[in-house]
Amino acid sequence: MKATELSQAGRRGPYAKSADRRRTIVTAAHAVFAARGYRGGSLQEVADRVGMSQTSLLHYFPTKRDLLLAVLTWRDSISGDGAGAPDPEESLADAVIRQALFNEDIPGVIELYTVLCAESITEDHPGRTYFLDRFARLRFSYAQAFTRLAQEGRLRRGVDPERAAASLIALWDGIQTQWLFAPDSIDMAGSLRDYLGLIILPE
């Protein structure tokens, strides 16, 4: 028997219902963190929503930090913004608008993103790395797309791709924040469409 086998000895892996259980926990945690933030939300509240004890919750996610990271990972899979281009024929502008309209209809997704993103700026926040990576990745991705448009002569003269990438993300995040405060006064897709219409020239 080898050392590697010893370390694995007796392990049987999670039971059948385990995956389902984890999913419902992450869903509940998503709602709690969206409504109260990471610091404001408690494991007890998550456990209550799931209908299980706080101790059982900690069996699946040993620390609150682990739970948050699971929520952020799950968010990526349901919102799937960023580079993921399902249709290569779709224009950048159309993809952005479609994504914005899509997120608008999933309750809590924008709340979670906006609340946790700003909270991650505070000291010792476990979400910091996630948002740091996300911004770097998104800026790179959009800058690349704008550079491609520029090569086709479809970017307005004077527009810098890198700066436009940061500005597009900034506008998107900022308009989401205002929308959360006053949904009836803010047209998220409209603002994004206007901006993209200003910097991207018609084909």
Partner DNA sequence: ACAAAGTTCGAGTGATTACTCGAGATTCAA
Partner DNA sequence: TTGAATCTCGAGTAATCACTCGAACTTTGT
Nearer to DNA, 16 or 182 (CB): 16
For DNA, the closer of residues 15 and 181 by Cβ is: 15
CB 195 within 8 A of CB 168: yes
Closest contact distance (angstroms) between CB of 131 and DNA is 20
Helix orientation angle between 64-79 and 92-104, rounded to the nearest 10 degrees: 130
Under the binding rule (CB under 7 A), the answer on residue 63 touching DNA is yes
The token duo for 134 is: 């996300």
Burial of 202 (0-12, 13-18, 19+ CB in 10 A): exposed
Torsion sign (Cα): 33, 35, 37, 41: negative
Interface residue with DNA, options 35, 37, 49, 52 (CB under 7 A): 52
Say whether residue 106 binds its own copies (CB under 8 A). no
Give 45 or 81: the residue with its C-beta nearer to DNA: 45
DSSP 125: -
27, 44, 151 from 22: Cα distances, Å: 9, 16, 47
> 81 CB contacts (<8 Å, ≥6 apart)?
99, 103, 138
Stretch touching DNA by CB under 7 A, among 10-18, 73-81, 115-123, 132-140: 10-18
Q: Is 68 in the site for its own copies (CB under 8 A)?
A: no
Cα dihedral angle (120, 121, 126, 130), rounded to 10 degrees?
70
The mark string for 146-185 relative to its own copies (x by CB under 8 A, - otherwise) is: ----------x-xxx--xx-xx-xxxxxxx-xx-xxx--x
Footprint of DNA on 13-42 (CB under 7 A): 13-18, 21, 41-42
Residues that bind its own copies (CB under 8 A): 35-37, 39-40, 111, 114-115, 117-119, 121-123, 131-132, 135-136, 139, 156, 158-160, 163-164, 166-167, 169-175, 177-178, 180-182, 185-187, 190-191, 194-195, 197-199
Residue numbers at the binding site for DNA (CB under 7 A): 9-18, 21, 41-45, 52-56, 58-60, 62-65
